[in-house]
Structure 1
């Protein structure tokens, strides 16, 4: 019996301001964890649209992606259930926009916080995945790729009208 392998596609915002990175603290099955503003790509949206949506939902800030930091493939095995998940993550940096103070944060998000690279490195045991640190390190190293390195065919986009 053949089962097709289908990695979970996620998007993440790597947001730096004044030498600090924006993170979210969130409830997970493994306990309270730190993550970049990130989440699953929804049907009918491009990765750019997805990262803008996820950032707004998790931080109450608008976000405009301006570059791709990297594309990452990682595997996670949940100790409690043995679930085996592969993630394909598109990480973007960009411009942090307006804060919407009346917006509630997404379910499970406890708070947002700004951390220095050293604080992020020191807290690695509390990261949701090793990609949190990897994305920051790649951003610090100056990795930037044009947005058009990721093409979303029109067939993916759902008419929202």
Structure 2
């Protein structure tokens, strides 16, 4: 059951409301990364979405990647936590490896592609590209904040 609050009700509430999303940084053996072009806004991003209430983060990643791309994955490790300070969304990104399936689009994706790190940087907004690039560097988990468009420098 989802509860909706008016802005005035949110302002009087002492605990901020956040939602949690999960995403898969799916890395193929050749180093290419799985990406989708979103159906709703045409932007390139990594596959993912809102974590369901009774779902573990790992199960959520497997479900979201499968639903949006047709690729089955094995979840390896958490590589980053990213907070959109404007929308109140906390995204957990997990490095994954493909374990089956075949690329296909869905209601949520108009294209599915395996991209090089250079293509990721060219096609994706900074706040999404960094999630995939962070998953490759082996120095995670990273913790970053952004305003929906640009990263916010750590204090």
Question: TM-score with structure 2 length normalisation?
Answer: 0.74
Q: 1:10-159 counterparts in 2 under 5 A?
A: 10-17=21-28, 18-28=30-40, 31-76=41-86, 85-99=87-101, 105-124=105-124, 127=125, 130-144=126-140
Corresponding residue of 2:16: 5
Q: Distance in 1 between matches of 2:46 and 2:105?
A: 14
1: CA distance, partners of 2:76 / 2:119: 25
Q: Equivalents in 2 of 1:50, 1:15: separation in Å?
A: 14
TM-score (norm 1): 0.72
Which runs of 5 or more structure 1 residues have no equivalent in the other structure? 77-84, 146-161
**Structure with more contact order per residue of length (Cα contacts < 8 Å, sep ≥ 6):** 1
SS where residue 61 of structure 2 aligns? helix
Asked if structure 2 preserves the Cα contact closer than 8 Å seen for 1:67 and 1:144, the reply is: no
Q: Does the aligned pair in 1 maintain the 2:105–2:112 contact within 8 Å?
A: no
Q: How many residues align?
A: 129
The alignment yields a C-alpha RMSD, in angstroms, of: 2.0
Q: Give yes or no for contact 2:39–2:110 (8 Å, CA) kept in 1.
A: yes
Distance 1:137 1:44 in 2: 29
> Partners in 2 of 1:75 and 1:109 — Cα distance?
25
